[in-house]
């Protein structure tokens, strides 16, 4: 299994540009998540999904959109990129189980908006 | 309002000694607590978890202790090794919503 994969690994955007961060998992997990991590800060939840066709906002959803058309894929769309969106973005997935919703993370996408 | 707090941003420990990472929480409804480890340029990886009905869980060199009355948990690493140098995140499971993460503690194990 590849686990959780994310593309691209790095990206530089100009203010106002748009892009889609790709995330895929091959573990047949129902739950998928997008986080951002700013320097010296913890993980902030942007959006999550509990299954195909279902998405919910997290703590910091403004400026982002998501879709979940399949179990495997959970892309994150940035419209009108702003410098405040410079961050490292992590995608994660999980299944419900008794040990408490353990999440598997991708390697991250480092995004810089100039 | 931070529900999960890691008040120490960093910790330095000598190789072979014990590392103790602390975490406090405010929501008594959390049913599981988890620790994640993160190396630079990688995603976090799951380390160990504990159910709210237990007070201790052990896995090799890693032990997590839970004190429900104090709303406090700690991760003990014994003996500490240079490869343990990483950022450690405490997380709590509120049930049907996603995990709540602390801000992390950077552990440096000095040889």
Look up the CATH number of the domain holding residue B81.
2.60.40.10
Q: Do B43 and A48 touch (CB under 8 A)?
A: no
Dump the DSSP string for A2-54.
Answer: --EEEE-SEEEE-TT--EEEEEEESS--SEEEEEEE-TT--EEEEEEEEETTE
User: pLDDT digits over B50-69, tens only?
Assistant: 999 999 999 999 999 999 99
- The residue in chain A having the minimum alpha-carbon distance to the alpha carbon of residue B93 is A100
Cα–Cα distance, A11 to A15 (Å, whole number) = 13
What number is the average pLDDT over the span A84-109?
87
pLDDT of residue A41: 83
φ, ψ (nearest 5 deg) of residue B43: -80, 160
User: pLDDT digits over A19-56, tens only?
Assistant: 999 999 999 999 999 999 998 788 999 999 999 999 99
State the pLDDT confidence band at B1, using cuts at 50, 70 and 90: low
Q: Which strands form A64-66's sheet, in the order they lie side by side?
A: A4-7, A19-25, A76-78, A64-66
Domain of B27 in residue numbering reads as 4-110
pLDDT of residue B14: 98
The domain tally of chain B equals: 1
Domain A4-97, CATH:
2.60.40.10
Of A58, A101, A105, the CB nearest to B32: A101
Q: Kindly report the CA angle at A25 between A19 and A26, in degrees rounded to 5?
A: 145
The residue extents of the domains of chain A are 4-97
Which chain A residues are within 8 Å of B41, Cβ to Cβ? 107-108
């Amino acid at each position: 299994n590849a686990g959780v994969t994310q593309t691209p690994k790095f990206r530089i955007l100009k203010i106002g540009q748009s892009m889609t961060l790709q995330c895929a998992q091959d573990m047949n997990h129902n739950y998928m998540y997008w986080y951002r991590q700013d320097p010296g800060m913890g993980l902030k939840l942007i959006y999550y999904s509990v299954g195909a066709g279902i998405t919910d906002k997290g703590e910091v959803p403004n400026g982002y959109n998501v879709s979940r058309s399949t179990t495997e894929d959970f892309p994150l769309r940035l419209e009108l990129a702003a410098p405040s969106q410079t961050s490292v973005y992590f995608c994660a997935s999980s299944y419900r189980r008794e040990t408490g919703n353990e999440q598997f993370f991708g390697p991250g996408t480092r995004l810089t908006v100039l | 309002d931070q529900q999960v707090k890691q008040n120490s941003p960093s910790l330095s420990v000598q190789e072979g000694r014990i590392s103790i990472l602390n975490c406090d929480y405010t929501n008594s409804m959390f049913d599981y607590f988890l620790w994640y480890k993160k190396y630079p340029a990688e995603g976090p990886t799951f380390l160990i978890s504990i159910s709210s009905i237990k007070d201790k869980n052990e896995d090799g060199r890693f032990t997590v202790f839970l004190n429900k009355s104090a709303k406090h948990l700690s991760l003990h690493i014994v003996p500490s090794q240079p490869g343990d140098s990483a950022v450690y995140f405490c997380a709590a499971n509120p049930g049907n919503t996603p995990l709540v993460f602390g801000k992390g503690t950077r552990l440096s194990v000095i040889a």
